[in-house]
């Protein structure tokens, strides 16, 4: 198992380029199951989760090929296996996104329940309720969700009880091949929903309202192939900006989708750094200012993403003053707290959704354990700031979501090494 060895204390400086978005790539890969012609996708990030989704598509029978420019072409006409097995779904919850497309196109599907997760119970009730409203018959047997709709899906009026990104995406995909019109109310407004809708439109789907809380889909008989370039990863960009702020560095990130990061950039400015946007480049300069503790309250888009909560906590750990971190999206998303404390941070959990952070002047290197994807990146930020060496164990979590992280941080001046143990 690999681990990262980080010798902290150096400010991040230099230029880098954002990678393609993981959370956009995964639903778009699932959406290829709807297309009756091959779909070519470029700018997919080279990540473990993307490989898992490609593996799942191949298990279902899709033909996946890679061209010389590293774009992936997926032909799902050969799909004959309609069962998404436990071994792949347990590795990555987003595998559940094949449910809607397979059901809509083939009238039948079996997908393993995603099961437990390090950041809360994460049910899928909203996905299932919506598909039932669209005419699916659903049962759960032996840990698998079986859904059938012999006469195809019917458009329906679906009001989500909670705002769910994956639920909205599953229903959106299913609705493109349903008979009639589907209206999704209380839909997620995240950029990754908008991107999925854009890609589906390229395939010929009729979708309006994405990016608002009501999405309308007019179903059709079949979708075509398309060529689509995945946009940049706003969480990766946010993570590197926070890391630069924590190390009092100065970095530029190109191809950085600033239009999706308003709340994050405003919050970073509250900490003290100078943040400038020019076209698709974001420049953060934290060399002259001290960092001010800033309260963090996660929320659905356009609020501060829960996927940056742990990283902002790491920044607060080395900022002046006391801050409160409130996690509103997931319960039990504070697994990083105990590990940050091992680095010398002063963090107290008030309850399952609130933590208080008292900034300290210095963190000190220590062995720590990554527990989930974003928690790992907060430990990395702590390690970049800390004096001495930090060993981050179980970094396969980081590899799920950050492309070539040690290489990219290395270019920005970090002393970071991957070792196999
Ligand atoms: C996606 C992102 C993840 C991000 C999360 C919230 C991907 C691959 N993952 O996850 O990185 O942290 O959005 O922005 O894009 N819920 C229910 N019932 C359901 C579905 C969800 O109660 O049927 C609840 C969840 O428990 C959670 C909240 O809704 O409390 C939001 O979850 P959701 O938006 O569905 O997250 P994911 O799509 O799994």
What six digits make up the tokens of 230? 């995945």
Q: For residue range 255-314, what is the model confidence (pLDDT) as tens digits? A: 999 999 999 999 999 999 999 999 999 999 999 878 999 999 999 999 999 999 999 999
Encode pLDDT of 189-228 as tens digits: 999 999 999 999 999 999 999 999 999 999 999 999 999 9
**Cα–ligand 1 centroid distance for 191 (angstroms):** 14
Q: Indicate which atom in ligand 1 lies nearest the CA of residue 306.
A: 12
**Which of 117, 220, 252, 257 does the annotation list as catalytic?**
117
The size of the chain, in residues, is 421
For 41-86, write each residue's pLDDT tens digit. Answer: 999 999 999 999 999 999 999 999 998 888 999 999 999 999 999 9
Select from 119, 164, 374 the residue to mutate for testing ligand 1; criterion: most ligand atoms less than 8 Å from CB: 164
pLDDT at 118: 57
Q: What is the mean pLDDT of residues 221-239?
A: 97
Secondary structure class of 42 (helix, strand, coil):
strand
Is 257 catalytic? The answer is: no
Q: Give the CA dihedral 343, 344, 346, 351, nearest 10 degrees.
A: 40
Which residue's alpha carbon is nearest to atom 31 within ligand 1? Answer: 164
Would you state the structure tokens that stand for residue 404, as one six-digit string? 């070539």
Q: Whole-angstrom Cα distance, residue 11 to residue 8?
A: 9
SS3 16: strand
So what's the pLDDT on residue 286? 97
pLDDT score recorded for residue 114:
84
pLDDT, tens only, 92-151:
999 999 999 999 999 999 999 986 455 556 789 999 999 999 999 999 999 999 999 999
The Å distance, Cα 166 to ligand 1 centre, comes to: 6
Between β-strands 389-393 and 2-7, what pairing exists: parallel, antiparallel or unpaired?
antiparallel
CA 204 to chain CA centroid, Å, is 26
State CA 310 to chain mean position distance. 14
Contact 317, 291 (CB under 8 A): no
Question: Rounded to the nearest 5°, which phi and psi values hold at 27?
Answer: -65, -35
CA–CA dist 381, 243 (Å, integer): 5
Q: Which atom of ligand 1 is nearest to the CA of 188?
A: 34
Best of 133, 161, 165, 187 to mutate for ligand 1, by most ligand atoms within 8 A of CB?
165
When pLDDT is cut at 50, 70 and 90, the band that residue 6 belongs to is: very high
Packed helices 191-202 and 22-31: angle between N→C axes, nearest 10 degrees: 30
Compute, in angstroms, the gap from residue 22 CA to the centroid of ligand 1.
14
Q: Which two tokens stand for residue 3?
A: 């681990």
Query: Whose C-alpha lies nearest to ligand 1, atom 21?
Result: 164
The whole-number pLDDT of residue 396 equals 87
Q: How far apart are CA 98 and CA 112, in angstroms?
A: 11
Average pLDDT, the chain: 95
pLDDT digits (tens, 9 = 90+) for 362-411: 999 999 998 888 889 999 999 999 999 999 998 888 988 999 999 999 99
Q: Rounded to the nearest 5 degrees, what angle is found at the Cα of 378, between the Cα atoms of 377 and 380?
A: 60
404: left (phi over 0), alpha (psi -120 to 50) or beta: left
Residue nearest atom 8 of ligand 1, based on CA coordinates: 23
Residue 332 pLDDT > 90:
no
Enumerate residues lining ligand 1, CB below 6 A. Answer: 23, 26, 93-94, 120, 122-127, 162, 164-167, 188, 192, 305-307, 329-330
What pLDDT does residue 120 have? Answer: 59
First to last CA, the chain: 6
What pLDDT does 73 receive?
98
160-175 residue pLDDT tens = 999 999 999 999 999 9
- Residue 198 tokens read as 């854009």
Q: Compute the 3-state secondary structure of the chain and give helix, strand, coil in percent, each to the nearest 5.
A: 35, 30, 35
> Residue 386, class by beta-carbon neighbours within 10 Å (0-12 exposed, 13-18 middle, 19+ buried)?
buried
The DSSP secondary structure of 131-147, one letter per residue, reads HHHTT-EEEEETTEEEE
For residue 373, the ligand 1 atom closest to its alpha carbon is 11
Residue 121's pLDDT is what? 63
Q: What is the mean pLDDT of residues 331-357?
A: 94
CA of 385 to the centre of ligand 1 (A): 31
């Amino acid at each position: 198992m690999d681990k990262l060895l980080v010798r902290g204390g150096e400010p991040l400086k230099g230029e880098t380029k954002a990678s393609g978005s993981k959370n956009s790539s995964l639903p778009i890969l699932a959406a290829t199951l709807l297309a009756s012609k091959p779909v070519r996708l470029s700018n997919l990030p080279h990540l473990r989760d993307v490989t898992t989704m490609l593996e799942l598509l191949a298990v279902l029978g899709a033909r996946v090929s890679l061209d010389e420019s590293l774009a992936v072409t997926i032909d799902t006409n050969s799909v004959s296996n309609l069962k998404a097995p436990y071994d792949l779904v347990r590795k990555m919850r987003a595998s559940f996104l094949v449910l809607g497309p397979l059901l809509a196109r083939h009238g039948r599907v079996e997908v393993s329940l995603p099961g437990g997760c390090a950041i809360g119970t994460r049910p899928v009730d909203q996905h299932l309720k919506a598909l039932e409203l669209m005419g699916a018959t659903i049962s759960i047997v032996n840990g698998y969700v079986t859904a059938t709709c012999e006469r195809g899906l019917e458009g329906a009026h679906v009001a989500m009880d909670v705002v769910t990104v994956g639920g909205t995406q599953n229903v959106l995909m299913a609705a493109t091949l349903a008979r009639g019109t589907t209206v999704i109310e209380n839909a997620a407004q995240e950029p990754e929903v908008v991107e999925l809708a854009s890609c589906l439109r390229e395939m010929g789907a009729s979708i309006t309202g994405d990016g608002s809380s009501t999405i309308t889909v007019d179903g059709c008989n079949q979708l075509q192939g398309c060529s689509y370039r995945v946009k940049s990863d706003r969480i990766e960009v946010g993570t590197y900006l926070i890391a630069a702020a924590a190390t009092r560095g100065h970095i530029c990130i190109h191809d950085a989708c600033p239009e999706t990061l308003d709340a994050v950039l405003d919050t970073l400015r509250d900490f003290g750094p100078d943040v400038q946007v020019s076209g698709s480049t974001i420049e953060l300069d934290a060399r002259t200012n001290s960092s001010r503790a800033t309260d963090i309250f996660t929320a659905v888009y356009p609020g501060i993403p829960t996927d940056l909560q742990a990283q902002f906590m790491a920044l607060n750990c080395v900022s002046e003053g006391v801050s409160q971190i409130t996690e509103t999206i997931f319960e039990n998303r504070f697994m990083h707290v105990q590990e940050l404390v091992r680095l010398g941070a002063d963090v107290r959990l008030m309850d399952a959704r609130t933590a208080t952070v008292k900034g300290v002047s210095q963190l000190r290197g220590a062995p720590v354990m990554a527990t989930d994807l974003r928690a790992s990146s907060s430990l990395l930020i702590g390690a970049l700031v800390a004096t001495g060496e930090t060993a981050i164990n179980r970094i396969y979590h980081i590899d799920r979501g950050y492309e070539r992280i040690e290489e990219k941080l290395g270019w920005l001046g970090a002393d970071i090494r991957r070792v196999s143990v």
